[in-house]
Amino acid sequence: MIKLLVNADDFGFSRGVNYGVLDTHLNGIVNSATMMMNAEGTEHALEIAKSTPTLKVGVHLVLTFGKPLTSAPSLIGEEGFFKKQKDVYGHPEEISLEDLEQEWTAQIEKFLASGLKPAHLDSHHHVHGIKEFYPVIKRLSEKYNLPVRIAGPHFTDVKTVTDILMVDFFGEGVTEDYFDKLQESVEDGKTVEVMTHPAYLDARLKDGTSYYQERLEETRILSEITLPENVKLL
């Protein structure tokens, strides 16, 4: 038996994203989501999370989108916004780990202040998997007693959400038979997380990311499919 976590990233990005997450949970196979705490739809996502206790909700740590919750200087690029993804990945040594821990702590604390308890931690654009940032994610995992999305071979002494992470349900990988084929790539008895991005199209999503049209197809498939008998939701 393969045990499956279907996580919807970017919860809170916009109302269109939030409703996509909600529908694919209530009517489909999405059983988990991770929330951005600095986005336009964050408060709306918190309302949905509070009224939908069957949905596991974690924190989608942000370093490359929107504005930080703190004034940590090494994280900020132009006009008070976070640095661009290419700059974070290209020059991780320019990010102060103290600034990073301060900002990510603020994001987790904002989630906790809502009265909700996070299920786990992951990140926008997988930045928590950058090797230089591992000491921070490890400390936060231990401080808040939260598992984290596995994001590289260096995740050796931190509690992870699942044994395996699949990131290929994305773009051209969004196919009708994706979940039927899981048994071909995942060993029986393993736990696996599939990263997804369901959403309905709205102006905020279209203006904020190049990956928007494909999310409609993700939403349809995640709402309609039936999992094979040897795959069960975690």
Q: pLDDT tens digits, residue range 6-45? A: 999 999 999 999 999 999 999 999 999 999 999 999 999 9
Identify the CATH number of the domain defined by range 2-233.
Answer: 3.20.20.370
Over 90: is that where the pLDDT of 142 sits?
yes
Cα–Cα distance between 28 and 226 in angstroms, integer? 8
Contact 28, 3 (CB under 8 A): no
Residue of 64, 92, 89 whose CA lies nearest to 78: 64
Give percent above pLDDT 70 in the chain: 100
Over 90: is that where the pLDDT of 138 sits?
yes
Per DSSP (E only), the strands in the chain are: 2-11, 32-35, 56-61, 121-123, 164-166, 191-196, 231-233
Backbone angles phi, psi at 103, to 5 degrees: -70, -45
pTM for the structure as a whole: 0.95
Over 90: is that where the pLDDT of 188 sits?
no
DSSP state of 28: S
Under the banding of pLDDT at 50, 70 and 90, the label for residue 60 is very high
* Number of neighbouring beta carbons within 10 Å of residue 115: 9
| Across 38-42, 93-97, 177-181, least confident range | 177-181
Q: Which helix H or strand E contains 121, and what residues bound it?
A: strand 121-123
> Which amino acid is present at 95?
I
CA atoms within 13 A on the CB side of 20: 31
